């Protein structure tokens, strides 16, 4: 149902400078995520060239690409939320009247904030232990692990911030619940599909 409804595709800010700044941070995280993916592809190509053309050994490339892809995933979270790109099934919200749709949207956001808040908390402790203990990987490259582990609290923290901005935008009626028009119904979507 998701692809056929009148839902908005980007977070709105309604002129609020805080919501605009959080949206800007989410977009910056998305750009950084895309650049990390491009860098990962370049390093993978370099690794293939060294191993199969020059018949050499690689030391850091596999591990580096893994860390870059994890960072890209974590930093991509707030950007995907900003774009409303996470999996969204509009079936239940479209069946509900506007008031209940709003209650459901607040409940979903509160539960998501609780789960992501726990991820921020545990990600921070995971990163802090690596920082405090000076952990390094067991590979020949031996990088300090606090650097890639920092992406966990950072990515989840930015995602939490974007979710909180979405919650506030809905609370102040800058956004509609689930990004759906207030008068959108399941029958409207079914008629458009025919």
Domain boundaries, the chain: 2-193
* pLDDT of 80 above 70: yes
Band of residue 194 on the pLDDT scale cut at 50, 70, 90: low
pLDDT tens-place string over residues 43-54: 999 999 999 999
- Regarding predicted confidence, which is higher, 13 or 165? 165
pLDDT score recorded for residue 192: 66
Residue 3 has pLDDT above 50, yes or no: no
CA dihedral 119, 152, 39, 21 (to 10 degrees): 80
- % of the chain with per-residue pLDDT over 70: 90
192 versus 143: the higher-pLDDT residue is 143
Q: Rounded distance, CA 29 to CA 104, Å?
A: 28
Is residue 189 scored above 80 in pLDDT? no
Residue 130: pLDDT above 60?
A: yes
- Global confidence as pTM: 0.86
Q: Is the pLDDT of residue 163 over 80?
A: yes
């Amino acid at each position: 149902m998701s692809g056929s409804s009148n839902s908005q595709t980007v977070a709105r800010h309604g002129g609020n400078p805080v919501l605009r700044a959080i949206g800007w941070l989410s977009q910056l995280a998305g750009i950084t995520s895309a650049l990390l993916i491009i860098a990962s592809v370049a390093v993978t190509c370099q690794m293939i060239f060294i191993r199969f053309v020059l018949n050499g050994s690689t030391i850091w490339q596999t591990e580096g690409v893994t860390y870059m892809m994890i960072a890209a995933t974590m930093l991509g979270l707030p950007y995907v939320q900003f774009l409303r790109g996470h999996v969204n099934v509009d079936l239940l919200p479209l069946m509900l009247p506007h008031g209940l749709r709003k209650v459901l949207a607040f409940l979903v956001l509160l539960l998501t904030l609780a789960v992501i808040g726990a991820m921020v908390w545990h990600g921070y402790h995971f990163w802090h232990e690596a920082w405090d203990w000076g952990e390094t990987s067991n590979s020949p490259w031996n990088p300090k692990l606090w650097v890639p582990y920092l992406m966990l609290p950072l990515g989840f923290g930015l995602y939490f911030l974007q979710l909180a901005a979405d919650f506030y935008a809905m609370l102040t009626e800058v956004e509609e619940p689930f990004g759906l028009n207030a008068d959108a119904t399941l029958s409207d979507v079914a008629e458009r599909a025919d």
